[in-house]
Structure 1
Amino acid sequence: MMNSDLYETLFEEGCIRKETLDNIRDKRSRPLFSLHWELKTLLYLGVMLLSTGLGILIYKNIDTIGHQVILAFIAATSLGCFYFCFRHKSPFKKEKVKAPSTLFDYLLLLACLSFLSFLGYLQFQYGVFGNNYGLATFIPMLVLFYVAYDFDHLGILSMAITNLGIWAGISVNPLTLVSNIDQGGRPLILTGIALGIFLIAAAFLSERFNIKKHFHFSYTHFGTQLTFIALLYGYFHDFEQEGSILWVVLLFAFAWYIYRDALTHKSFYFVLLCVVYTYISFSAVVVRYLLKGHDIGVFYLAGIYFIGSAVMFIKLLIHLNKKVKAL
């Protein structure tokens, strides 16, 4: 606004011509379009494709290259990237720290991906961890959390949280879950709920003690999704039992907490998650009780419910979106 007033003043004083002023107005009416996130996404994708391409190349030429050479190459890549990042990193702060450069950001990501590939290769080829798969996931999880906090990297934090989920899921025995859902389902549900609540607590503590408070979104995202899915799975797992409605009650209570937190942080994304999962669980209960009837009218009632509820669902989202924007 100050620049516009300046140009108007210069024109009135005869310092610039009318054509120049018109050109300035025209340029200001068509601002530049930022490609920041598009380029950043392409760069992240490039690092992932590089790691994948190297993996395919190594796999196809494993007989001619040799395992030791491959491990040495992966280790050298990881160590070289980590060395560069440690040399150029900013001192640790509890607040958000900006990356020194774009190259730094992607070399750190490549270093962590190479590190995970190195450990995975060691375990697959030489079985260095034996049958202790929990340890094989626990060590990289600790490294990823350390790197995420020390280098202030949201992408590495997401990898660390994912690794935490893998480590926690090892004790559930996924093979048993697939072969017999009644035996494997309950431990998986409880593990999911416990891990989800742990992540929500981590999000709360990060803000409460101002330790990387911008990590709040990542922790809340994973914790919310995981807890909602686990509670929904709990309801469908106990679908034939009378006490299954308790899972829905717990889901509604959890949704209310996330909804209040979302309003505090003015986040429509988490409001949307609350509405979607609540609608799914409520609809599951409605359909369950409708199916108890054997009359043909049940299908008409179900159709009326879904049409009416879909309209109300859309109206509710529009209302909540306006509410969040007004905060």
Structure 2
Amino acid sequence: IGVCFYFCFKNSKGFQKSEVKFEHPVLEYLVLAASILTCIFIGYLQFQYKPFGTHYGLATLIPTLVSFFCAYYFDNKSVLTIAITGLAAYVGLSVTPQDLLNNNNFYSDQSLSYSAIMLGVLLVLWTIYSSRIQLKTHFNLIFLTFALHIISIASISNLINDYYGIWLIFAFILAGSSYYFYKVSHDLKAISLYVFMIVYAYIGFNIFLFRVFEHIDLADIWMLLVISLPAYFIGSIILFIKLIKTFNKQIAA
């Protein structure tokens, strides 16, 4: 770890608010290696010797702070993803979509869902503040990508919540989030944000329809709905392709 940091600091141009790159790309991997090794080392210390006792959050927070420092000082996007992941783990979240959807706490523990929403909002607010002071604005896409996934998945997970009224609140949160990321994806000309926004909005919209249909007697039109489903899904695919083509034309103009 010490050797990695030594060469990184020796060849670094120092902290700058704008984008900075090392003269040799190998140094980028040294920064990444130093950050990963720091996380492993602190995790090993906690597992083997428990210097933080039962305060496991500190064992997560410290390498997270080190990663944030390395990401901004050495201008490394890969280390930034580690730092944001560590921040999410500190508040009790698992950031990968598969882990989030398989985490039953999202259904049983509302506070975890609220923590996810708040973390996503804070990441968005940080990008707004960073843009105003021109601080590493090229990091914004990474922050917004994490925010989009966290807010959308937390909202979708709670759309199937049986507690009265809760699912409707998260439906509005997902709708507002989708609108915001629709605007941001055009501003940043980020096709990845746009595609994931459409996917999450589409999933949420369909769940919303099912929740509404729960309170409607569909006996008379059930067969009509079954017959129209193939056309609905085919139309959705065609619309998705058309939206992507339109977006590409707009950002290319």
Q: TM-score under structure 1 normalisation?
A: 0.68
2:252 pairs with 1:315: no
Query: In the alignment, is residue 226 of structure 1 matched against residue 153 of structure 2?
Result: no
Q: Corresponding residue for 2:108?
A: 183
Deviations 1:90-143 (A, max 9, x none): 121111111131221111211111111111111111112111111111111111
User: How far apart, CA to CA, are the structure 2 residues paired with 1:216 and 1:181?
Assistant: 27
Q: Which moved more, 1:281-290 or 1:88-97?
A: 281-290
1:137 has 2:60 as partner = yes
Rg bigger for which structure? Answer: 1
- 1:251, 1:99 → 2: CA distance? 40
Label 1:316 to 1:84 Cα distance change in 2 as closer, same or farther (>3 A): closer
Is it true that 1:273 corresponds to 2:200 in the alignment? no
In the alignment, does 2:120 pair up with 1:196?
yes
Aligned partners of 1:150, 1:237: CA distance in 2, in Å?
A: 43
User: Partners of 2:166 and 2:106 in 1: how far apart?
Assistant: 18
CA RMSD of aligned residues (A): 2.3
**1:193 CA displacement:** 0.5
Separation in 1, partners of 2:49, 2:113: 33
- C-alpha separation between the residues in 2 aligned to 1:158 and 1:319? 30
Residue 263 of structure 1: aligned partner: 186
Q: How far 1:241 sits from its partner (Å)?
A: 3.2
Q: 2: CA distance between counterparts of 1:243 and 1:167?
A: 25
1:92-111 pair list within 5 angstroms:
92-111=15-34
Q: Secondary structure of 2:146's match?
A: helix
Percent pairwise identity: 33
**For 1:185-215, what per-residue CA distance to the aligned partner results, in whole angstroms no more than 9, with x for missing partners?**
x112101100011111111111110111111
Q: How many residues align?
A: 242
Q: Report the Cα distance in structure 1 between the residues aligned to 2:212 and 2:225, rounded to whole angstroms.
A: 10
Offset of residue 146 of structure 1 = 0.8
Task: Kindly indicate whether residue 248 of structure 2 is the aligned counterpart of residue 325 of structure 1.
Answer: no
Aligned 8 A contact 2:113 2:154 in 1: yes
Identify the residue that residue 236 of structure 1 maps to in structure 2: 160
**CA pair 287-309 structure 1, distance change in 2 beyond 3 A:** farther
Point out which structure has higher relative CO (alpha carbons under 8 A, 6+ apart).
Answer: 2
Q: Which amino acid aligns with 2:17?
A: K
User: What is aligned with 2:139?
Assistant: 215
- 188-197 vs 94-103, greater mean Cα deviation: 94-103
Q: What secondary structure is seen at the aligned counterpart in 2 of 1:96?
A: coil
Instruction: For residue 93 of structure 1, give the secondary structure of its aligned residue in structure 2.
Output: coil
Partner of 2:77: 154
Is the CA contact (8 Å cut-off) linking 2:46 and 2:52 kept in structure 1?
yes
Q: 1:159, CA displacement in angstroms?
A: 0.6
CA distance in 1, matches of 2:92, 2:138: 27
2:229 is matched with which residue: 302, 307, 322? 302
**TM-score, structure 2 normalization:** 0.86
Matches of 1:180 and 1:273, distance apart in 2 = 24
Does the aligned pair in 2 maintain the 1:290–1:298 contact within 8 Å?
no
Gaps spanning 5+ residues in structure 2: where? 94-98
Separation in structure 1 between the aligned mates of residue 226 and residue 112 of structure 2, nearest angstrom: 34
